[in-house]
Chains A and B, each alone.
Chain A
Amino acid sequence: MPDLYGEAMRFLTALALTWTTFAAGAFATPGQPTDGALGLQPAVTPIMEDIVSFHNILLVIITVITLFVMGLLIYVMIRYNRKANPTPSKFSHNTLLEVVWTAVPVLILIGIAIPSFPLLYKQDVIPAEIDFTLKATGNQWNWSYEYPDHEVAEYFSNMVEDEDLEPGQLRNLSVDYPLVVPVNATVRLQVTASDVIHNWAMPAFGTKMDAIPGRINEAWFQATQEGVYYGQCSELCGLRHAFMPIEVHVVPQDVFDAWIAAKAEDEYSEAADAIIAEYSAARETRLAQLD
């Protein structure tokens, strides 16, 4: 029997928490989901910023439409129920109305399309100036990464199992060998798979690309904030589909360079891990002091 009281209290706390912070926004930690959250994760790339603002427009539009339909329904239910209106009228045509409710949705849709297409092209057209290429391969059930421009050999990135979790690591999200990219770098992402279809998805970046055996798909991102970001495989790939997360560390250029140098020596280099760990620790103290 579940703990009903605890359940209810958790419900109320989370409700209060999220809905008060919703208006204030930006309560959530970037790069990971927040319990009870209502919306998209905070954006850390220009694409995701555009997605968020476009989604905000859409949310308003669809809310208004839904409330409008609801309002009409409530109105007719009150105004034209059997008691309020015992004798029905018999009209069944009104050309003007029909034209209006065809034309207005068309206009709304055109209004939606105006921001929609530029966003689409921005996402899909890889910028001419890219800093480097990153290759991700989906496997049952982990990701392997290559930095073809930096001569880092392919390394595998596995989820940290529950029993191995260290403090600060997130269940089902943290991995043993994460990706590292420099802040503000424009990265071309190549995605493929070795067995079945997977999908490399990073909510905070607004990136989601199918990893398809026999094909190489391309996407791009430019992370503008340092931090750790988590994503998950987003195409059903079998038994452990829920357990092949993605972890990206966005770090300053010099940290990245040091990390790459260590990785180029040995793709599972402990020194490389140490560089990231050291940087992260320093960053956390700095953030703690800021608070």
Chain B
Amino acid sequence: MAGHAAKHDYHLVDPSPWPFVGSVGAFLLAIGAVGNMAGLVSAEHPLAFMYADGSWGGLALGFLIVIWTMIGWWGDMIKESKRGDHTAVVDIGMRYGMILFIASEVMFFVAWFWSFFEYAIFHEVRMDPALATWPPAGVETFNPWHIPLMNTLILLLSGTTVTWAHHALQHDDRKGAITGLIFTVALGMCFTALQVYEYSEAHFAFSMADGGNLYGSTFYMATGFHGAHVVIGTIFLAVCLFRLLAGQMSAKKHFGLEAAAWYWHFVDVVWLFLFAFVYVVYQG
């Protein structure tokens, strides 16, 4: 709290509307999603455009509020940072926070890898013989040495460019930092584009409705969640790029960029595991 006589360096944050607004957003997003997927009201209901089966209204409303919260919340943080609230000890706290957040993300991916390995290794318990082999009958897996290898190289390269940006910034070389970041964001976009292309080439389906099976489920959900993280990481880095251009980062204070870089490395490592196991070891 600015202006009060605390004799410590911790940051006592002012009261804020965002947590409450964000929770309302999360609630609306959830019922919007359920409406869209399963239908909460009939097609005749006055709120059908929001919550009937297949409607996007409720989902959009919730999503907008969540995005609004993010902009407002992180915007406030930037203001507080400028105001000098982020002292050295607060900065350490944010580092802990980011590391722990990434740790929880790692455990989220554990779930997807676990179900992939379960099927890749213990498929023989399946009663249906067509599903008890690896890969399951009718599934033609990707050749890892084409697009996947390409994507691996792209991500590894982007890992170096983001480090370049970071080091440049540490040495007050703004130009180098900006170039490094631009490269990183561009490489991230390349990765996403290639992955979309790869999906379009796949010889196995996602949904059982299209003849898919567990192979498709684990493949698309694991690589898909990874892809989503790449997109989020790219946005995160892009925001850092804009903040850098806006002069909000200095050689001394640029935790936003560091957090984005950590996140990017995490996404990178997840990909290495995907590449090694989903594409190479268990290619069938």
Contact = CB atoms under 8 A, between A and B. Distances in A.
Interface of A: 192, 214-216
A107 B246 CA distance: 67
Nearest to A214: B127
Nearest to B128: A214
Contacts of B125: 215
A215 B128 CA distance: 9
A119 B127 CA distance: 29
A224 B127 CA distance: 33
Nearest to A192: B127
A192 B127 CA distance: 10
* Smallest CB-CB A-B distances: 3 pairs: A214-B127, A215-B125, A214-B126
Contacts of B127: 192, 214-216
Nearest to B126: A214
Interface in B87-144: 125-128
Contacts of B126: 214
Nearest to B127: A214
A129 to B, nearest CB: 25
Contacts of A216: 127
A214 B125 CA distance: 9
7 contacts: A192-B127, A214-B126, A214-B127, A214-B128, A215-B125, A215-B127, A216-B127
Interface string B43-78: 000000000000000000000000000000000000
A289 B15 CA distance: 85
Contacts of A214: 126-128
A216 B125 CA distance: 9
Contacts of B128: 214
Contacts of A192: 127
Contacts of A215: 125, 127
B84 to A, nearest CB: 45
B72 to A, nearest CB: 44
A214 B127 CA distance: 6
A212 to B, nearest CB: 10
B137 to A, nearest CB: 16
A215 B131 CA distance: 12
A192 B126 CA distance: 12
A192 B128 CA distance: 13
A237 B65 CA distance: 39
A156 B128 CA distance: 24
A214 B128 CA distance: 8
B119 to A, nearest CB: 12
A203 B128 CA distance: 32
